């Protein structure tokens, strides 16, 4: 007999908001303008950061999409949806095989994540 996994009920899904501070700290490791002379991360760290960025994007993208609404009703919501499209495109892309391609790809993901964090914060309902 094989058991099949059932989809979790809405009340069982983790409702913890995205940890934007942690996401931004990951981005800072790749894009921190305060330390432009700091050497680029080593190749193994770039690979780890890329995986982390992809995971962060997987967490924040559905939240931004939910906050942007369907259909969007404001310029901010339209901009957030456009940013989501850009992020999806970057996630589908592959790093260039040229030297530094992995780092450039990670930095593109980092910029997309930073922008989505901005949209996530901007679209939060007023208390």
What DSSP letter does each residue of 5-68 carry, written as one string?
Answer: PPPPPGGGS--PPP-HHHHHHHHHHHH-TT-TTSPPPPHHHHHHHHHHHHHHHHHHHHHHHHHH
pTM of the model: 0.84
Q: Per residue in 24-61, pLDDT tens?
A: 999 999 987 666 667 888 999 999 999 999 999 999 99
Taking the CA of residue 105 as centre, how many other CA atoms within 13 Å lie in the half-sphere pointing to its CB? 22
State mean pLDDT over 73-96: 95
User: What pLDDT is attached to residue 105?
Assistant: 97
Provide the 10 A C-beta neighbour count for residue 110: 25
Burial class (CB in 10 A: 0-12, 13-18, 19+), 62: exposed
- Domain extent listing, the chain: 19-29+40-122
Predicted confidence at residue 121, as pLDDT, reads: 96
Chain centre distance of CA 43: 21
Average pLDDT, the chain: 88
Q: Residue 102 is encoded by which pair of tokens?
A: 């992995």
Question: At residue 18, does pLDDT exceed 70?
Answer: yes
pLDDT at 7 exceeding the cut of 90: no
**Is 10 exposed, middle or buried (CB count within 10 Å of its CB: 0-12, 13-18, 19+)?**
exposed
Average pLDDT of the segment spanning 109-113: 98
Q: What is the pLDDT of residue 14?
A: 58
Q: What is the pLDDT of residue 33?
A: 66
54 or 127, which is more confident:
54
Per-residue pLDDT, averaged over 64-90, amounts to 94
Residues in CB range of 109: below 8 A, 6 or more apart: 50, 53, 54, 57, 90, 91
């Amino acid at each position: 007999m094989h058991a099949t996994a059932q989809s979790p009920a809405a009340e069982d899904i983790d409702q913890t908001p995205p940890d934007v501070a942690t996401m931004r700290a990951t981005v800072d490791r790749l894009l921190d303008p305060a330390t432009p002379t700091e050497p680029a991360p080593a190749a193994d760290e770039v690979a780890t950061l890329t995986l982390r960025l992809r995971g962060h994007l997987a967490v924040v993208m559905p939240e931004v999409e939910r906050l942007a609404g369907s259909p969007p009703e404001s310029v901010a919501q339209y901009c957030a949806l456009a940013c989501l499209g850009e992020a999806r495109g970057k996630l589908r892309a592959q790093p260039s095989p040229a030297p530094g391609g992995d780092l450039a790809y990670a930095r593109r993901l980092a910029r997309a994540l930073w922008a989505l964090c901005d949209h996530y914060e901007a679209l939060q309902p007023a208390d």
